């Protein structure tokens, strides 16, 4: 295979890469949710939209699409909450810019729609959110590292890290906006897992590139945690849920991965997203760390 063909295939692989996933699971029948459980709202990107959990509900005319059963469904099935709506969208950004599609599916658009419909309100008891990875350019980092080698990879990671302060500032504002409309709600802000267990042998990412990508994930999580602290300084009642430890030993190139990767289809939407086990791990993190059952109704 010529170098040109290999580079082209690596670039095609890189173009389809997405974002990031977790620990073990809880499964209570869907009908078990009692009347009076905490009103539950979910917003955010593909992690909350369920990508990787199952078949995508993706009609031809869809803008905001999801897959089930993701972690939101698993949390709902515990019987501790009553899901009002999962408004998350695959591919959602915080910064919508001038892109008409992003203006429809951005996290801000999700919140605006929920507020306008009266679904996010003072009765809301818990909100879960994943957001920030797309805006930090995680897919661009993955593409650069997959296609162009360590030097370009390092530059892409540095550029991503340079924008994380801005991402964090917008996230703090988002958490504050949720609190203003739903002042009684606990806001569970979920982080992202490291994608790799750095090792040689991957055809697209060297061990050094894997370390760089993990470093960028760590810094993104740190920016999200700082945003939570900033919002809480104004009473937002948010909690950062770090999933890094839960995913240790379960990266995409581990022997027991909880992050999806289809080597036969590098453009699969599910690649680098939680598997069903990973989504159950996210749900476990919410239940064990946020403890919805102890929150006031």
Beta strand pairing status for 56-57 and 238-241? Answer: unpaired
Residue 44 above 50 pLDDT?
yes
**Residues ≥6 apart with Cβ < 8 Å to 73:** 30, 50, 53, 83, 86
Please answer whether residues 81 and 40 qualify as being in contact, where contact means their C-beta atoms are separated by less than 8 angstroms.
yes
The residue among 104, 110, 106 whose CA lies nearest residue 95 is: 106
Average pLDDT of 121-125?
97
The domain segmentation of the chain, as residue ranges, is 3-294
Can you give the pLDDT at residue 296?
65
Average pLDDT of 74-81?
95
Can you give the pLDDT at residue 187?
98
Which of 21-35, 59-73, 247-261 shows the lowest mean pLDDT across its residues?
A: 21-35
Average pLDDT of 201-221?
93
Of residues 55 and 287, the one with the higher pLDDT is 287
Residue 9 above 70 pLDDT?
no
The predicted-structure confidence for 140-182, as pLDDT tens digits, reads as follows: 999 999 888 999 999 999 999 999 999 999 999 999 999 999 9
Can you give the pLDDT at residue 91?
92
Fold of the CATH domain 3-294: Rossmann fold (3.40.50)
pTM for this structure?
0.86
Average pLDDT of 117-136?
97
């Amino acid at each position: 295979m010529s170098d040109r063909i290999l580079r082209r295939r690596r670039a095609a692989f890189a173009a389809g890469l997405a974002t990031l996933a977790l620990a073990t699971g809880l499964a209570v029948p869907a009908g078990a949710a009692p009347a009076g459980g905490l009103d539950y709202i979910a917003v955010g990107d593909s992690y909350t939209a369920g990508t990787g959990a199952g078949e995508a509900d993706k009609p031809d005319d869809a803008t905001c699409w999801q897959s089930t059963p993701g972690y939101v469904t698993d949390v709902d099935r515990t019987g501790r909450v009553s899901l009002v709506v999962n408004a998350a969208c695959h591919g959602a950004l915080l910064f919508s810019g001038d892109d008409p599609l992003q203006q429809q599916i951005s996290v801000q658009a999700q919140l605006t729609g929920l507020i306008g419909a009266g679904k996010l309100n003072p009765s809301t008891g818990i909100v879960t959110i994943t957001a920030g990875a797309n805006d930090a350019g995680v897919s661009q980092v993955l593409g650069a590292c997959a296609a162009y080698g360590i030097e370009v990879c390092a530059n892409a990671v540095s550029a991503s890290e340079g924008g994380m302060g801005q991402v964090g500032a917008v996230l703090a504002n988002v958490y504050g906006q949720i609190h203003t409309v739903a002042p009684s709600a606990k806001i569970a802000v979920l982080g992202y897992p490291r994608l790799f267990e750095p090792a040689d042998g991957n055809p697209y990412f060297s061990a050094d590139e894997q370390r760089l990508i993990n470093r960028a994930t760590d810094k993104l999580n740190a920016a999200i945690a700082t945003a939570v602290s900033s919002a809480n300084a104004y009473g937002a009642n948010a909690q950062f849920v770090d999933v890094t430890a839960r995913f240790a030993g379960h990266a995409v190139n581990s022997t027991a991965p909880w992050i999806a990767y289809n080597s036969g289809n590098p453009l699969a939407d599910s690649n680098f997203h939680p598997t069903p086990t990973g989504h159950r791990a996210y749900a476990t993190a919410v239940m064990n760390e946020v403890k919805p059952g102890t929150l006031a109704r």
